[in-house]
Amino acid sequence: MINVASDAARVGSSGEAVYSACKGGIVAFTKTMARELARSNIQLNVLCPGPTDTPLLTDLTGEGESGRKLAEAFRNAVPMRRLGRPEDYPGLVAFLASSDSDYMTGQVISISGGLTMAG
């Protein structure tokens, strides 16, 4: 099983307390179920995208000059200096769904252009 949360679950996100808490619940649920189901050879992992150029981000930043500045701040916070794109994620999903990841479970993996580095 591959769940999708957000890096907001890992580090918080100003102005998004409910969103971060909900995504944190997905992370905790995934880790708990990974422990409980490991003996049955069922793997659960969670993908945590960073800021991604989607309609949700557009709703968050809003329109006009202040929206553009907020979007720019998101981009500038990412070491790779760009927002994620939906096409950045399928490769990891394919890997996690393949037999190449059979010994991985309970992992929280950030895809965030370097914004979140843990380990």
Catalytic residues: 19
Residue 44's nearest CA partner among 60, 29, 58 is 29
- CA–CA–CA angle 103, 107, 108 (5° rounding): 155
Q: String of b and e for 16-37 (b: at least 16 CB within 10 Å)?
A: eeeebeebbebbeebbebbeee
In whole angstroms, give the CA distance from residue 40 to residue 119: 27
